[in-house]
Chains A and B, each alone.
Chain A
């Protein structure tokens, strides 16, 4: 059974880069599927950030594309999110998730991690 776990700093300063890692267990990233990041500001709705295929191909939300980088480390069975030039509006619970394919929704989710942007 696939499990995902987010990790990273819970506090980031404005203008800096938010960096999170998702560790996948129970499945090898190199075997396929797409791996996604989704976020949810406190008390608000969900926002899809982007995804990556195990080969390294990425697809980003157009509204965040200029600040987002998603990468994969197959040796550690992890994938990562970098979000640059953060502001208070980037404060959110960040989830990582597995997508079954190019035309599949996020199916298995991590528990989420809260990242607060504050001086």
Chain B
């Protein structure tokens, strides 16, 4: 089964930009770009922020941007706000469906 590796934590100050990476052990991510990103606040269900690598569902701020390079997908959040502080998970659904380990974003 493929695996997705994320950094355990990232941080940034309000107004800054941060990027969270998600590296796949298989080539599925690179070939099919079927990666999504979720935001999860404590005690809440995850919220879909990005799908198909770079598409935003209706209602998601354009401060959230998804991209891909080779087998690594990335989520960039620009203009950091206090409410962006949360856990973020990538999810690959090209072959096996698997989540990354999650990244805790701290807004300083």
Contacts and interface: CB of A to CB of B under 8 A. Distances in A.
A105 B51 contact: yes
A95 B48 CA distance: 14
Interface string A87-119: 000000001000000011111011110000000
A102 B58 CA distance: 21
B45 A61 contact: no
A46 interface: yes
A106 B48 contact: yes
Interface residues of B, number: 22
B89 A46 contact: yes
A62 interface: yes
B102 A105 contact: no
A28 B4 CA distance: 33
Given A105-B91, A109-B47, 14 more contacts: A45-B89, A45-B99, A45-B101, A45-B102, A46-B46, A46-B91, A48-B99, A63-B1, A95-B46, A105-B36, A106-B91, A109-B46, A110-B45, A112-B45
Interface of A: 45-48, 51, 59, 61-63, 95, 103-107, 109-112
